[in-house]
Structure 1
């Protein structure tokens, strides 16, 4: 089932950038950073040079991670990259990744998830980036790269018919935990869902104040990813919380709502009017 978000929907370009089954997931939200974001830029996002944030999930055939663990680890990896000192600063205080992080966020926000095992994972791990671990999942996030400028160690990574499952239903999230709610009407592959969870985490990050960001960082970016109750989904998308709207490059229709970012600080702000 393909569900669309309320409000304005951008039209997507008529092309795809692979898929979870054929070598990666390319997906993007269609919202701009808030006007007070350090990465905000008034230039048209489609006219800027396009970058992508690569994420590589470690999947060994014999012991793949659980799906929810991988989704949560990918979302945390995005937050770790956004908050890393190498991604921050300007001028003389600029981190080594700060310029490319700004360029990436001034264009469309693309994330590509690929899979590696064995020697492929070791080679990918040798490139500049950050490995984030979950209960069992490992996800390495790299500084953004141009769409046409992938390192060869990452460009050749593929997914050949592998998806992820949860051995048991994940429990209910804690009432005070940030939750990334997935659209219950969309059957997204694991890679697609990982990228979308990363989008949701990023939209929440943009909306938080610096003290709220610092508090979240101190928890190790604790969060949960869960599929929303179908009866609650409609209200979530209209609650005032950040909503990811997919551009439709892979798997789902342009304008589909994929994730609602339900952070306690934002929840309180919405409730307070």
Structure 2
């Protein structure tokens, strides 16, 4: 295992940056047992709703924080669950919303909470989620757009597509993918994957978006986009809201 490529990130490297790790692994829809696994992101959406950007940034950080947690490492109690999920071929995530007592209840389930806004739960079979999670709604996870201003200087950024509309639940899953992908490419490139924990989330301009996606169209491996622009894409599997292969967001390393 290359330094920085944790059990959750190492299987991604062959898929998102094969030019850095010596070739791509075969794609698989699910592990050999056929079980569909996912990481649940529980979004805290109280009656006094938080800002959309704050929730998305917490989702990006929580998903990656779980993957970098020592409990997900080879000697950790979460290792088997995380490694099996990450090696499935797709890093599925499902967003659910909670408030008040339901939010407090999920704090007792294994996972990582960021900013008291999002808890990423240890991934597992989607048909075997605990009762406290199963009762949480998947739909209705939306918040109005906000104006967070420019991203902080020196921070990596997850840029949301200006061309597809996403509910906050969908976008939370996508930025969680993005933080993991960014951390993976950073680690494979010899940098610290934890840098991606501080990623800001912002809507991309159409000019920047087209520049990046043009690079991805010219070289679908992603190598040119990373080497020339420092960006890595999230291509959606198309299970909800968008068509398969849609680039929903693009993660950019620190300039």
SS of corresponding position for 1:79: helix
- TM-fit CA distance, 1:246: 0.4
Please say if 1:243 is aligned against 2:226.
Answer: no
Q: Work out whether residues 184 and 193 of structure 2, in 8 Å CA contact, stay in contact via their aligned partners in 1.
A: no
Partners of 2:58 and 2:49 lie apart in 1 by 14
Q: Which residue does the alignment assign to 2:41?
A: 55
Q: Which residue does the alignment assign to 1:23?
A: none
Please say if 1:99 is aligned against 2:89.
Answer: no
Please say if 1:113 is aligned against 2:95.
Answer: yes
Pick the aligned partner of 1:140 from 119, 142, 151. Answer: 119
Give CA-to-partner distance per residue, 1:82-125, whole Å, 9 cap, x none.
11000112xxxx21111111111111210011000112111111
- TM-fit CA distance, 1:126: 1.5
Pick the aligned partner of 1:216 from 184, 188, 195. Answer: 195
TM-score by length of 2: 0.79
Instruction: Give the gaps of 5 or more residues in structure 1.
Output: 1-28, 268-273
Q: Which residue does the alignment assign to 1:19?
A: none
Query: Relative to 1, partners in 2 of residues 1:129 and 1:233: Cα closer, same or farther, differing over 3 Å?
Result: same
Q: Which residue does the alignment assign to 2:133?
A: 154
Query: Relative to 1, partners in 2 of residues 1:206 and 1:36: Cα closer, same or farther, differing over 3 Å?
Result: farther
Instruction: Give the gaps of 5 or more residues in structure 2.
Output: 1-11, 216-224
- TM-fit CA distance, 1:32: 2.5
Matches within 5 A, 1:138-217: 138-159=117-138, 161-166=140-145, 168-209=146-187, 212-213=191-192, 216=195
Q: Work out whether residues 87 and 97 of structure 1, in 8 Å CA contact, stay in contact via their aligned partners in 2.
A: yes
Query: Relative to 1, partners in 2 of residues 1:68 and 1:101: Cα closer, same or farther, differing over 3 Å?
Result: same
Pick the aligned partner of 1:228 from 192, 204, 208. Answer: 204
Which 4+ stretches in 1 moved above 4 angstroms? 33-38, 40-44
Query: Relative to 1, partners in 2 of residues 1:32 and 1:215: Cα closer, same or farther, differing over 3 Å?
Result: closer
Query: Relative to 1, partners in 2 of residues 1:215 and 1:110: Cα closer, same or farther, differing over 3 Å?
Result: closer
SS of corresponding position for 1:255: coil
RMSD: 2.6
Partners of 1:37 and 1:124 lie apart in 2 by 38
Q: Report which of the two has the higher share of helix.
A: 2
Q: Work out whether residues 56 and 139 of structure 1, in 8 Å CA contact, stay in contact via their aligned partners in 2.
A: yes
Pick the aligned partner of 2:28 from 15, 26, 45. Answer: 45
TM-score by length of 1: 0.74
Q: Work out whether residues 37 and 206 of structure 1, in 8 Å CA contact, stay in contact via their aligned partners in 2.
A: no
Q: Which residue does the alignment assign to 2:59?
A: 74
SS of corresponding position for 2:92: strand
Please say if 1:129 is aligned against 2:102.
Answer: no
